[in-house]
Amino acid sequence: MQFRVVTLFPEMVATGTRFGVCGRAARRGLVELSTVDPRDFSVDLHRTVDDRPYGGGPGMVLKVEPFRDAIRSARAALPENSPVVFLTPQGRRFDQQVAEQFTALPGLILVAGRYEGFDERLVEAEADDEISLGDFVLSGGEIAAVAIIDAVVRLLPQVLGHAASAEQDSFTDALLDCPHYTRPEAVDGMRVPAVLREGNHEEIRRWRLKQALGRTYLRRPDLLQARTMTEEERQLLREYLAERDGDAGVFDPVRH
Ligand code: 9D3
């Protein structure tokens, strides 16, 4: 799969995709990651890419022509059916389902903005899709582009090993993860739960599912509502709530 990011800060994207799963996939040739800088398509002496907003107000707006021409060069270089996705706070929300859908594409052109954003005529003329990471303010689209590339690349066949692919299915399970522990058995007086040390695999499975259900209920009730629980799960959640000594307290700003 090919990714090309249209960005005024190509080094942010190059550096952000150089490490871990993403970097390895690129070095193995499983994905191609590249950038194109609209400044290189600006024709005036100062290589201008932004200008003051019509109607007044603070900040600068990204000009149509340099972005349009950078996007066209990306379209020409990538396979047909590679959509142009603008990264903006006005876009639809990115999630695991969108990431999975993107894995089916031969290529993806991500357009990162800066300042107050794009001239709307650029979006109308060139955008196939508009994506946001959520309701918080970034300074530009580059970090969003890196996040999306990372989420998509790790889903591609060949990129992660067999064990990890099996684990990925569990996000479709739509529960938060259970707690994890490693050695030593005791640190600063805090001990690993006995059930995890005793090696009864059925008990371990039930404990992990119970923790996942309990944490999801307390921290992300929206995830539980989007999901039907089995009778075993209902029982485990009842047990969790009966036994709980305040896991959610970590997230409860008014606990006493
Ligand atoms: C503070 C400026 N805002 C005025 C209401 C508008 C605004 C313009 C440009 C807010 C953010 C940005 C830059 N953001 C992105 O390019 C961006 C983004 C984000 O800020 N949050 C979540 N997802 C994304 S994707 C791209």
At 81-131, the pLDDT tens digits run: 999 999 999 999 999 999 999 999 999 999 999 999 999 999 999 999 999
Beta-carbon contacts of 81 under 8 Å, excluding residues fewer than 6 positions away, are: 105, 106, 107
What is the rounded distance in angstroms from the CA atom of residue 51 to the CA atom of residue 62? 7
Active site residue 69: no
Ligand 1 first shell, C-beta below 6 A: 87-89, 113, 116-117, 132-134, 136-138, 140-141, 144
C-alpha distances in angstroms, 10 versus 13, 32, 44, 120, 219?
Answer: 5, 15, 21, 23, 37
Residue of 94, 137, 143 to mutate, ligand 1, most atoms within 8 A of C-beta = 137
Mean predicted lDDT score pLDDT of the chain: 94
Q: Which domains does the chain have, with CATH numbers?
A: 2-153 (3.40.1280.10), 168-256 (1.10.1270.20)
Read off the pLDDT of residues 118-149 as tens digits, 9 standing for 90 and up: 999 999 999 999 999 999 999 999 999 999 99
Ligand 1 atom closest to residue 112's alpha carbon, by position in its atom list: 16
Q: In the 8-state DSSP scheme, what is residue 250?
A: G
Ligand 1 atom closest to residue 136's alpha carbon, by position in its atom list: 21
Predicted confidence (pLDDT) at residue 253 exceeds the cutoff of 80:
no
What is the rounded distance in angstroms from the CA atom of residue 18 to the CA atom of residue 24? 8
Q: What is the pLDDT of residue 256?
A: 40
Instruction: Look up residue 79 and give its two tokens.
Output: 């396979």
For residue 131, the SS3 value is strand
Instruction: Count the helix, strand and coil residues of the chain and give each as a percent rounded to the nearest 5.
Output: 45, 15, 40
Q: What is the pLDDT of residue 12?
A: 98
Active site residue 128: no
Q: What is the pLDDT of residue 137?
A: 98
Confidence band of 241 (pLDDT split at 50, 70, 90): very high
d(CA 5, ligand 1 centre) in Å: 17
Q: What is the pLDDT of residue 246?
A: 66
Predicted confidence (pLDDT) at residue 159 exceeds the cutoff of 70:
yes
- Average pLDDT value for residue range 150-177: 82
The pLDDT > 90 percentage for the chain reads 90
Instruction: Give me the count of residues in the chain.
Output: 256
The pLDDT > 70 percentage for the chain reads 92
Phi, psi of 193 (to 5 degrees): -50, 135
Read off the pLDDT of residues 7-55 as tens digits, 9 standing for 90 and up: 999 999 999 999 999 999 999 999 999 999 999 999 999 999 999 999 9
Q: What is the pLDDT of residue 136?
A: 98
Instruction: Look up residue 40 and give its two tokens.
Output: 């290189």
Predicted confidence (pLDDT) at residue 252 exceeds the cutoff of 60:
no
Residue 99 and residue 74 in contact, taking contact as beta carbons nearer than 8 Å: no
Largest CA distance in the chain: 72
- Average pLDDT value for residue range 233-243: 98
Closest by CA position to 85, among listed 74, 69, 96: 74
Residue of 12, 138, 149 to mutate, ligand 1, most atoms within 8 A of C-beta = 138
Read off the pLDDT of residues 165-205 as tens digits, 9 standing for 90 and up: 766 655 557 999 999 999 999 999 999 999 999 999 999 99
Q: What is the pLDDT of residue 173?
A: 74
Q: What is the pLDDT of residue 171?
A: 59
